[in-house]
Chain A
Amino acid sequence: MLSTNTRSLTLLFATSLALSIPALGFADELQFNMTEGVTSVSKEVYGLHMLIFYICCAIGVIVFGAMFYSMFMHRKSRGVEAANFHHSTSLEIVWTAIPFLILILMAIPATTTLKKIYDADDADIDILVTGYQWKWRYEYLGEDVSFFSVLKTPSTQIHNEEDKGKHYLLEVDEPLYIPINKKVRFLVTSSDVIHSWWVPPLAVKRDAIPGYTNAAWTRVEEPGVFRGQCAELCGKDHGFMPIEVHAVSESEFTAWLGKRKEEAAAIREAAKQTLTLEQLLSEGEKVYTKNCAACHQADGKGMPPTFPAIAGSPIADGERPIAEHFNRVLNGGQGMPPFGEQLTPVQAAAVITFQRNAFGNNTGDVVQPIDILKYKQGQ
């Protein structure tokens, strides 16, 4: 009996130790703690995290220390007699009061930091962040600049046909740009289900609730690229809607914004032109691969019953009026996201033309950007 017990206890102790060794050993290569981040808020949060952690460690050492001492000393195999005490009011009061005081100690800095996080007023820049299944849309309020931001990692990497890059699943086609040393306010919302906009180095995490806006803010102090992910389960591709924030100097930011505005004007211009079938098809295929293939699949066969096939779909093969096709693509419905805002008129015209002339849907229909504009106005 004696030997089993001693062995058991030694093992218990040794395992606990062994468990902490790998953690220490890997320390350099592996990240195992929260990032300190690059804003004053994120640093405060980090400080808070470490403070509570150390307090818990200290309490742990005392409690577990007492326990292990007792397990070694007060074993029957050592021939001890059990004491018989089972009550002590003063002891009970002490160990109710002390944790309570410790908690107050923790609550004070926590309150201060929380107040700071909630103070989103007087921002220099307002950005409307909208979650979609499964991408983000950024709109610089009052600037007429808005765009979508989609995962850039190729599916070959995801399916292990190619080596994974450094920023695997954390890279997007169109990053969000913000200037440093400015208070940027994010108004977070969603167009479908709940998402959550989270960038750890900024310590910003806000849920995107459809139909409501939530405010968050940041002031980045050093330029850099900061990555994050959607943090609320939002369906199939929840793991595939990253966030990439580029914090740049103010002048760089102004230049970038100017370029964006020009592009917006160019798109409006482009909507007036007439394109050939070939142009539409090649553009349409690109749009399809980027936006539609996630659900309807690259071969147009979809994933029934959730995601219908485009091949042979009555809406896309000419069986039903073309207006239904417009409506489905621009306005979405029943699980299909609306693309009216996301696609430029050229892109929308192109993808509809593509769908009506690919996967065996040989309608020969040609849809021009102007048709899209007309359809939108007619609504």
Chain B
Amino acid sequence: METKHEIYYVPEQSKLPLMASIGLFFTVFGLANWINEISADKDGSGMWVFIAGLAFFCYVLYSWFGTVIDENIQGLNSAQLKRSYVWGMGWFIFSEVMFFSAFFGALFYIRNIALPELSSGPTSEILWNNFKAEWPLMTTPDQALSGDKAVVNGPGENMANPGLGNWLGWLPFYNTVILLASSFTVHFAHTALKRDNKKLFNIWLGITVALGAIFLCLQWAEYSHAYHVGLTLDSGVYGTTFFMLTGFHGLHVTMGTIMLLVQFLRSVFKGHFSHHDCFGFEASSWYWHFVDVVWLGLFIFVYIL
């Protein structure tokens, strides 16, 4: 790696970090109170603290990114600093990968270790009235033991692969197509930018954002369908893993869409980005590819296998 050493830009003092910490604190403090209030069925101010904290936090982030962009426009950022941003984003995505690994690991463990154990030997015989495992888990151990009196009940229906022949009527299939397509469109946007074709760039980027939004709408439709047919967060481990994995993915798609949307707005209204200065866009697009790869994992391990 060839390293050119220009003067490294060390920013002046900044109020932003402390403000961001305060915002973050009130966000989680409010959220914790709010969640506790919901669980205890009590009224309280948690929700408002949370909303205020989050709004403030978002405002700080907005200013922060704004500052970084301004500095970049003023030409304060050296090539070396930009590489720091690249490393930063790269390792941040790696940390996200590890976050998802925890949940994929949990899914793997439950299917290959926990359920087989629950349905064999004395555990099954003595504790769960000869519970037998299946996947998707439609009948929980609790149901095997207590029948109608069970507290933890399996889902009414599951979202698993209906067989290749039925894919055309199967929503996750469309979601896969959409997300895969969006990976291509974002790549096309990048290529357009490399050729300094800003118009094409805007079009492809706009399409990507739209695809992200469509994905989210479909995901929402799937969730409401699931809740309608009795697949909820509390439908045993199937509901647990299904919603947690797809839910966190959905959250990341939301983040990714917002990130791309911001870049879109920057490009359209502020005329930002050129082929040699487009880190904001590139970072968002890496994130987008990452979200896409996670979906492939989901599609295989949550829906198909």
Question: Which residues of A come within 8 Å of B, CB atoms?
Answer: 128, 141, 187, 189, 211-213, 215, 379
Q: C-beta contact mask, B103-128 vs A, less than 8 Å → 1, else 0?
A: 00000000000000110011100111
Beta-carbon nearest neighbor of B114 in chain A: A212
Task: Decide if A189 touches B149 in the complex (CB within 8 Å).
Answer: no
Q: Which residue of B lies closest to A128 (CB)?
A: B126
How many A-B residue pairs lie within 8 Å, measured between CB atoms?
23
Asked if residues B123 and A213 are in contact (CB atoms below 8 Å), the reply is yes
B44 to chain A, nearest CB (A): 16
Interface CB pairs A-B, < 8 A, 22: A128-B126, A141-B126, A187-B122, A187-B126, A189-B123, A189-B126, A189-B127, A211-B118, A211-B123, A211-B127, A211-B128, A211-B141, A212-B117, A212-B118, A212-B123, A212-B127, A213-B121, A213-B122, A213-B123, A213-B126, A213-B127, A215-B122
Q: How far is the CB of B119 from chain A (nearest CB, A)?
A: 11
Q: Contact at A379–B117, with CB atoms within 8 Å?
A: no
Residues in B with CB closer than 8 Å to A141 are 126
Query: What's the nearest-Cβ distance from chain B to residue A142, in Å?
Result: 11
Task: Tell me the bound Cα distance from A213 to B141 in angstroms.
Answer: 14
Interface residues of B in 128-148 (CB under 8 A from A): 128, 141
Chain A residues near B121 (CB, 8 Å)? 213
- On whether A379 and B149 interact (CB within 8 A), knowing A211-B141, A212-B117, A213-B127, the answer reads yes
Q: Which residues 90-110 of B have a CB within 8 angstroms of A?
A: none
Q: How far is the CB of A304 from chain B (nearest CB, A)?
A: 14
Q: Told that A187-B122, A189-B123, A212-B117 touch, could you supply 4 new A-B pairs with CB distance under 8 A?
A: A187-B126, A211-B127, A212-B118, A213-B122
State the interface size on chain B (CB cutoff 8 A).
Answer: 10
Majority SS at the chain A contact face: loop
CA distance A212 to B126 in the complex (A): 10
Residues of B close to A211: CB separation below 8 A: 118, 123, 127-128, 141
Shortest A206–chain B CB gap in Å is: 13
Report A127 CB to chain B, min CB distance, Å. Answer: 12
Residues of A close to B118: CB separation below 8 A: 211-212
Compute how far the CA of A128 lies from the CA of B123 in the bound complex, rounded to whole angstroms: 11
Q: What residues of chain B lie closer than 8 Å to A187, measured between beta carbons?
A: 122, 126
Return the chain A residue nearest B146 by Cβ: A379
Residues of B with C-beta under 8 A to A379: 149
Q: Which residues of chain A have C-beta atoms less than 8 A from B122's C-beta?
A: 187, 213, 215
A181 to chain B, nearest CB (A): 24
Closest residue to B149 on the A side, CB-wise? Answer: A379
Chain A residues with CB below 8 A from B128, complex form: 211
Q: Nearest chain B CB to A41's CB is how many angstroms away?
A: 21
Complex CA distance for A189 and B127, rounded to whole angstroms: 9
Max chain A Cβ within 10 angstroms of own Cβ: one of B118, B121, B126, B149: B126
Determine the residue in chain A with the shortest Cβ distance to B125.
A213
Q: Which residues of B contact A215 (CB under 8 A)?
A: 122
Q: Which residue of A lies closest to B123 (CB)?
A: A213
CA distance A189 to B149 in the complex (A): 22
Report chain B residues within 8 Å CB of A128: 126
